[in-house]
Structure formats: structure tokens, C-alpha cells
Amino acid sequence: MSKITEYVARQPDANGHIHYPQEEHDIWQELYSRQVGNLSQYACAEYRQGLKDLGLSGDKIPQLTDIDNVLLETGGWKTSAVPALISFERFFELLANREFPVATFIRSKEEFDYLREPDIFHEVFGHCPLLTNPSFARFSHAYGQLGLAASKEDRVFLARLYWFTVEFGLLQAKDGSLQIYGGGILSSPGETQYAMGDKPQIRPFNLIDVLRTPYRIDIMQPVYYAIESIGFLDEIVKMDIMAGVREAKKIGLFEPLFEPKSKAS
């Protein structure tokens, strides 16, 4: 994760309260209102329940202390305010300690539809609701522990696992119907409509395949991987993920389904 950012995170006061100007609350309100309508149709039930449990306001940026009250009660997690982008080392360390990093800034109007780095809307609206779910919480914790112990080279492969689950994961029922659990989709109206359309490939989750699949952060995903239920995340935790990393390294990556770019993962 690059540490270069154009945003400046807002700092909490002595009581843990972050003061956002009204124009930033307005951006939250617009982001929230345009995406919340998609949720009843496309978001998985576990996410929708978590969103209800968190009680997020559609009118103003939430305080992390309020989110922590719910997360600590439901699964022992809390948020951790971070200064925009952080290192892989810090990211894995936080997850291993059941702390979810949240950058305390919100995107500008200029990056309203496409954001190069995660902001508080992406992290809180996209990810935090599912941290109330035991399977998602266990997966996130186990992932952090694996990443913390992994080599720099192995972390590149582990990043693909996170990308195609926590960020851009789908659920596919036996009847073929799709729902979203990945926060990168849930926080993006454009990606929501795209993922539910007929353009991307939807593949069943296979650990080795996921670890071998390149991605880019600046395009709509040409392929998504689907699991059958949120509970399947517990099955992934039981897999020998690092053995999968070694196998993926041995076999090599798939050919990208996108135009090459020097910063492709």
C-alpha cells in the first residue's frame, strides 16, 4: 500500500470526537442516499442486518466511537482511525488485533465516483456492517494474522485473496442469483450496477484461482469470485492458505483480463 495521499485525515479531540465541516457531511449524505436504494435488491442479508445494527445516519458522517460500541458488543472488534493509506505491515497488524482501519477523511467532489484510496464512506459504509457477522469477523481476523506473519512476496498473493473476498466478493445461490458482500462494491453505485450486470465473469471461489488472478484498482473488475454463503468464509479460514500461496507462486498468474498497466497487482 502506497503511503502517498492527497487527503489529510481529521484528528479526534480529547473525547474521541471528530469535527467535520458541513460540506463533508453533505458529501456523506449524497453518497449514502444514492447507494442505500441499491441495498435492498443487491446487498446480502448479513450486510443489511449489520447496517441496521450500526444505525448509521444518512445525514452526517458517523463517529467511530459510536460504531465501536456496536462492534465491540457484537464481536469484539473496534475501528482504528488511520491517516489515509497505511503500510501492509500496519494493516495486517490492526486486523490481527481485531481493529479495522478507517481513514478519517471523506472524498472530494472531484473524486465522487472514482476514489483512488479508501475513505470513511468506503470503510464504514462498505465494510463495518459485516464486521457484526461472526464468519466475516473471523475471516478478517485470521487474514490479519496470516498477513502479519507472511513475507513481503507472499503478501502480494494474500492481497488478491482480500481483494476478491472482502473488497469485491459476491454470493451466488444455487439458483444462480447474486448478492454482494464485498465492501468495494457495496460502497460504489457504479460497481454495484456493473457487478450485477452481464459484463463481468462470475467464477466460483477457488483458492488457487483467486491467488493467481491479477487485478487493477482503477477499473471495473472483469471477473468476480462468488462463494455460496457468508458462512463459507469459515471454510476458507480452515484451508491451508499459505500452501495455496506456494502453489500459486509455483504455477504463476493467469493472463490478465485487462489492458496492461505498470501498477497492476
Q: Which of 161, 174, 173 is nearest to 92 (CA)?
A: 161
Q: How far apart are CA 181 and CA 98, in angstroms?
A: 19
In the block, residue with C-alpha cell 453518497: 31
- Residue 127, annotated as binding a ligand: yes
- Residue 167, annotated as binding a ligand: yes
20 close to 106: Cβ distance less than 8 angstroms: yes
Which residues are part of the catalytic machinery?
Answer: 122, 127, 167, 187
In the block, residue with C-alpha cell 457487478: 195
Strand partners, 224: 202
Q: How far apart are CA 75 and CA 112, in angstroms?
A: 32
Give the HSE-up count for residue 253: Cα atoms under 13 Å, Cβ half-sphere: 11
Tell me which DSSP letter residue 43 carries: B
- Residue 17, annotated as binding a ligand: no
Q: Which of 142, 204, 134 is nearest to 173 (CA)?
A: 204
As annotated, the binding site for Fe cation includes 122, 127, 167
